[in-house]
Amino acid sequence: MRCKQLLCLTVVIVGWCGFVQAQDLIQINDIQTWANFGEGGFDAGDTLQILAGGDLTVSSRSAIKSGMHVMVEDGGAFTINDRLDLDEDGVITLNGGTFTCNGNFMFPDNATGMACHVWLHGGLMFCAQTESRRDRGSTLHLGAGVFQTGNVTEGGRDDPADTEHWNIVAIPPYANVVITELEGSVKEVSAAGTLIQVIDEQVWDDFETAGFGAGDRLEILAGGNLTVNGRSAIKDGMELVVEAGGVFTVNDRMDIDGDGVITMNGGEFYSNVILMFPDNETGLESHIWLYGGLMVCNRIESRADRGSTLHVGEGILRTGRVSESTRYDPSNSETWNIVGIPPLGVVINELEGDVKEVTASGGFIQISDAQIWDDFETGGFTAAMTLQIVDGGTLEVNGRSAIKDGMHLIVEDGGVFRINDRLDVDGDGVITINGGEFHSTVDMKFPDNETGLESHIWLNAGLMACNRIDSRADRGSTLYLGAGMLRTGETYDIPEPNDPIDPNEIEPKLTDPNNIEAWNIVPVDPNTTTLVTTLPNGYKMVTAPRNLIQISDAQVWDTFADANVAAGDTLQILSGGSLEINARSAIKDGMHLIVEEGGVCIFNARVDMDNRGQIILNGGELYSHVDFKFPDNSGHQDVDIWLDAGRMVCNFLESRADRGSTLHVGGGVLTLAQATGELTDPTNVNSWDIVLIPPYTEIVITESDDEKTVLALLPEEQTSDN
């Protein structure tokens, strides 16, 4: 029996549309199963509370939004066996019990401008996979509860350790957030320790007698002035934080030991005797973070071999007696591990009185609009600097340029970089692509010179498209391949008609990613593999699928999930292979579908493309007989169809460029029936984003009745037509 208790409310809330939204309390204290939230009457503004003994299972995709609130009490259990969206002021609170999501947890799904929160005061929350979007207002609050999430890709939206996408805060009196890697690509997030804050003048004998111990966090806030007179240690997960306007002084030896951390966000830190960094060999790392402020030490004995790291941002460290021991001298790289907090580098200066000063170097340029530069130098992008192109930013560089001497180019999701001349990635130069697009239309040298320094490309997400790359692994080049896609040309000789090339006579090319002597490709995620796909016109595509599923015979599936095709996987239909899908399916979460020449893929039900889903037609045929959503969900989905070769025929395809769909047209052809609507007509530039695949230079759209065909022409084809 469903137990729905309606509270008599004397207050109603008027929604933004002017409608009155009822606020009901629905309490569950028995075993119930709902198809979805609507069946249970759980709607906007309502609170669903699972009490002790209550066990609610929801079968299909649902959303907690518009002020909806799910609460699980101690002894209660909530389970959803499909995707769950937390959106628009939605809240989940665990005071105990269990909360299980066996599908994807979208946290949140859409960019609504309203925050959404998960509060874990107790209990266990487990999600098969979580996509967190801090930029859309998600916050995970941790108290005595535990959060576990699976299918984690290192450094992505599904990785709780990625602070760009996850906002995780401890609920006082807990002080620290702890992230633990479990088996099976699962990570666990919990809170630990006590938060101690100093806002006035205090004097302690030592940390232990004052109650500052393992797992605790001590914050010296503005106006706080703490003096410690006895020997003390920061260890076992302890963290000392000095904020702007705070002062900390220790008048005896201090040890920063196993898992101990000092964080300077501002203010002042004085060590008047010696700072052991660390004291003992524990196998754990100890860190000093200089985000800001001033840190002055009589001397620091640093032991990089024992796991010490000094991170330098906008703060300053001055340490003395540097000539007395190599361990006291920050210039000694054997005993000191000093790194700049990106995008900054490190500068060490010698001062009077046997003192050295450690500060940061380098500048930062961020582009969020459309800009055109002659070259990097005229744009102000020089040695030790970082250039970041963020969402909405586009940078076009027309002259030869170099990324070297500690320079770092970063392209974020929604950003675009294009260079129309030669680009050299040289000694200590770095390119990081976290999304968006990177285009090199002429030539890239990776690296150009033999400098003895390493140069790196991090393709974490997004597209990197290059006319050609001369890679020289023997000169220190490494491509770190994540969820992004590399397309690079001139990788093999294109035979002339009636004059085929003997492959035995071709020397391995520096431009060919298959040449392992020239290309050092390292997967970012060790659970992925490197896949190099040969495309037409001398191009090759490089990706890193989690799993590669290849089909070379005739197969019939209900859905992708039935065949265990999951997030990050690549499904490749080879010559002679055919795949027929009979139920609604989705190409999403980084999945790639590749149809090679001689391969056929047929969809007899609706197809949805979402969240970095990719279709690459490389000579085969793809037929969609029902609906094709490109993409299905709102928000920026980053979905692409690549028509390198072959034919794609769709009965009804709705494109949404405003949601991140892009059709790339090369040697393939797209035929569209019912192509007269706002979203189905490829001539509508508001809903269709159509771009050319090099070396094609012109898009042609032909029409016959309500059917339209999209194709591209090569330069010589345009000439002959004209």
Instruction: Give tens-digit pLDDT for 28-52.
Output: 999 999 999 989 999 999 999 999 9
What is the pLDDT confidence band of residue 504, given thresholds at 50, 70 and 90? low
Instruction: Determine the pLDDT at residue 13.
Output: 35
Instruction: Determine the pLDDT at residue 621.
Output: 98
What is the pLDDT confidence band of residue 705, given thresholds at 50, 70 and 90? confident
CA distance 390 to 64: 30
Give the pLDDT confidence of 559-609 residue by residue, as tens digits: 998 888 998 999 999 999 999 999 999 999 999 999 999 999 999 999 999
Tell me the average pLDDT across 479-498. 86
Lowest model confidence (mean pLDDT) among 213-217, 243-247, 354-358, 708-712: 213-217
What is the pLDDT confidence band of residue 361, given thresholds at 50, 70 and 90? confident
> Which of 124, 27, 131, 43 is CA-nearest to residue 85?
131
| pLDDT at residue 362 tops 80 | no
| pLDDT at residue 539 tops 80 | yes
Instruction: Determine the pLDDT at residue 384.
Output: 80
Instruction: Determine the pLDDT at residue 8.
Output: 31
Beta strand extents in 144-278 (DSSP E only):
146-149, 168-170, 176-182, 186-192, 195-198, 201-204, 217-220, 225-228, 232-234, 239-242, 247-250, 254-256, 261-271, 275-277
Give the pLDDT confidence of 312-352 residue by residue, as tens digits: 988 999 999 999 999 999 999 899 999 888 767 788 988 88
Lowest model confidence (mean pLDDT) among 15-24, 202-211, 283-292: 15-24
Residue 135's SS3 state is helix
Residue type, 695: P
Instruction: Determine the pLDDT at residue 615.
Output: 98
Q: pTM of the predicted model, to two decimals? A: 0.61
Beta strand extents in 631-678 (DSSP E only):
639-655, 661-672
| Cβ burial, residue 150 (10 Å; 0-12/13-18/19+) | middle
Instruction: Determine the pLDDT at residue 4.
Output: 30
What is the pLDDT confidence band of residue 634, given thresholds at 50, 70 and 90? confident
Where is pLDDT greater, at 414 or 271?
271
Average per-residue pLDDT for the chain: 90
